[in-house]
Amino acid sequence: MIVAIDGPAGAGKGTLAKALADRLGLRHLDTGGLYRATALQVLRAGGDPADPATAERAARSLDIALLDSPDLRTAEVGNAASVVAAVPAVRQALLDFQRAFAATPPGAVLDGRDVGTVVLPDAPVKLYIVASAAERARRRHEELLARGEASIYERVRVEIEARDARDAGRAVAPMRKAEDAVEIDTTDLTPDQVLDRALAAIDARS
Ligand code: DC
């Protein structure tokens, strides 16, 4: 069983992916973490995430231990991740890891931007998770405050919209809904309700 979950930042993909993996006994990969780790490696070395050669080198020599770094979830790293993710050679370097992860028994839930369209186009179940920009910004803002980071709602909203535009507008593997994906709008749903809808979609496909 392989479940591919895509959608914009803050829509609830990560929460759903973890809950689904738990419920179905599958492994979980947050593919955004790979782009974040690449960005963090560049930033820590004092490099420029917008320089394609620097970003590619980081992706090729990625230290997987960075996936557990507490710095991975900061807004700075999220924005830099979106920048390195637009570099085709970075995406290529991270592709094999994602496919190998999905192919390892007993199967997996992968969440990101291009899992259903590029990484695993043959995944039997694809979900596309969306929510209004206002609600996604509100969730991210609360998350940052809960972690003790300084956060201004309006700024989070502007950043989330800029990130959407960059992720959906890039030439290679842009964020988009796969033709055969089931869309779930989480704006007015609780995490449990989202999980129920996803399980229903999975039942309908199997
Ligand atoms: O989901 P996230 O916020 O952790 O993702 C960080 C960035 O990584 C996101 O802005 C775009 C990029 N990304 C991507 O291009 N493709 C993926 N499959 C996952 C994330």
pLDDT digits 0-9 by tens, 144-190: 899 898 999 999 999 999 999 999 999 999 999 999 999 999 999 99
Q: Determine if ligand 1 sits within 6 Å of the CB of residue 49.
A: no
Does a structural domain hold residue 206? no
Q: Is residue 177 part of a domain?
A: yes
Q: Is the CB of 31 within 6 Å of ligand 1?
A: yes
CATH of the domain at 74: 3.40.50.300
**Which has the closest alpha carbon to 2: 129, 100, 94, 96?**
100
- Whether 50 is in a domain gets the answer yes
> Domain tally for the chain?
1
Provide the domain limits for residue 23: 2-201
Query: Phi/psi of residue 46, each to 5°?
Result: 75, 20
- Between CA 81 and CA 75 the distance in angstroms is 10
pLDDT recorded at residue 70: 92
Q: How many CB atoms lie within 10 A of CB 61?
A: 10
Closest CA to 34 of 102, 93, 103: 93
Instruction: For residue range 12-43, list pLDDT tens digits in order.
Output: 999 999 999 999 999 999 999 999 999 999 99
Q: Does 85 map to a domain?
A: yes
Q: pTM value?
A: 0.93
Give the pLDDT confidence score for residue 74 in this predicted structure. 86
Q: Is the dihedral of CA 88, 93, 95, 96 positive or negative?
A: positive
Phi, psi of 168 (to 5 degrees): -85, -20
Q: Is the CB of 83 under 6 A from ligand 1?
A: no
Quickly count: other Cβ atoms within 10 Å of residue 90's Cβ.
Answer: 28
Percent of the chain scoring above 70 in pLDDT: 100
Residue (of 16, 8, 12) closest to 109 by Cα position: 16
Q: Map residue 59 onto helix, strand or coil.
A: helix
Q: Which two tokens stand for residue 188?
A: 């007015």
- Ligand 1 atom at minimal distance to the Cα of residue 163: 10
Contact 94, 38 (CB under 8 A): yes
For residue 205, the model assigns a pLDDT of 83
Q: In ligand 1, which atom is closest to the CA atom of 14? A: 1
Q: How far is CA 12 from CA 59, 91, 159, in A?
A: 26, 23, 17
Q: What is the chain's mean pLDDT, rounded?
A: 95
Q: Is the pLDDT of residue 206 over 80?
A: no
Contacts of 41 (CB under 8 A, 6+ apart): 58, 61, 62, 63, 66
If you measure from the C-alpha of residue 183 to the centroid of ligand 1, how many angstroms do you get, rounded to a whole number?
18
